Amino acid sequence: MDEINFFPDDLEIKDQKIILRLDLNVPIKDKIIKDDTRITLCLPFINRLIKKKAKIIIISHLGRPKGVNVPDLSLIPIYKYLKDALKTNVYFFRGNFDGETKEKFSHLKGGEVILIENIRFFKEETEDSQDFSKKLGELGDIYVNDAFSCSHRKQASVHSITKFVKKSYAGPLLKKEITAINFVIKNKKEPVTCIIGGSKISTKINVITNLLKKVNNIIIVGAMANNFFVHKNFKVGKSLIEKNTKEVITNIYKKAEEHNCKILIPEDCMVGTDFEGTGKNKNLDEIKENEIILDIGFNTIKKIQKKINESNTVLWNGPAGYFENENFSTGTISIAKIISQNTLEKSLISVLGGGDTLSAINKSNIKLTFSHLSTAGGAFLEYLEGKDLPGISVLK
């Protein structure tokens, strides 16, 4: 972590043009922001830069417009939000990047902000174009990447731009993300328990394999656990499973034994005949052909709670069931509550990541406390895998 060039608090930035890459990719429906979490997290640092009289140029994306100007993916709602939230002049740039772009930004005074329209409206962004990166880089004196969630992508505004700016730094949000994940995989306080959920084992196989070497317990929940049931010759009815996972799971158990890591899977579950109805609690040997496993069962919840109580660090990625139907959200909410309680009462280090995990927690409307909530999805998982993320490697 020491290798990364973090933004220094004492840097003199008055009248310096700072290119600030943020992740303002928030859910917007009918031009109304539905969840402003990602924006509010960025405001303290923007305000610090304003106070220091820097000239701030914000770059962000929204959705995946694939190099086309899609009106529904415009940053105008975010521009209006920032205009209300920041006590300074905020401008919006909707032009192209050409030889005169620098002049178009020349009116910016110290302490003012300009937001550039969705950077993914330019196909050169996702192509990591050197020419486009140069045009972006020439706009500023200093580049700050505060978008950890985009740092696993080789894209112009997070990767090649650093070649064309005098100084490049990682911002405070990025630092917070890396510090939190490092508490699980590097500077860990044992015992460490990881709860891995979601639907596909294929998307998380590398994460699980990497974590096996570094943690004490891995608890498998969600539809991913169905593959482990099949591996142990239990019938899972109409439940979601992936093909050809036998060898993968055999390998997981083998490596877990080598590294003295315990793998825990549910021993009972909530089943329904469809996703919209109610559920019944059943043991694994009682599931009928027309039933779908949609949550973990009561005994499993108790078992997980006990394991969390015995842990000093918990990492959680992926819900325990089909939380969209509250009849199948009990497992996820129970896990969230016990992690929160231990974080408050026993100084448990708790790191939660993944969009679905956060959605499930937000949907519950219960006041919960965790050491760190990560808004990153792919970057969070790839960093857990031990990968050197392109957007971070260029800041070293």
Residues annotated as part of the active site: 38, 200, 355, 378
Alpha-carbon distance of 336 to 384, in angstroms, equals 21
| Partners of residue 33 on adjacent β-strands | 28
Distance of CA 297 to the CA centre of its chain: 27
| Partners of residue 347 on adjacent β-strands | none
Exposed e or buried b per residue across 328-342, where buried means at least 16 C-beta atoms within 10 angstroms of its C-beta: bbbbbbbbbebbbbb
In 3D space, the residue among 160, 149, 205, 163 whose CA is nearest the CA of residue 353 turns out to be: 149
In 3D space, the residue among 132, 133, 146, 169 whose CA is nearest the CA of residue 60 turns out to be: 146
Alpha-carbon distance of 261 to 192, in angstroms, equals 10
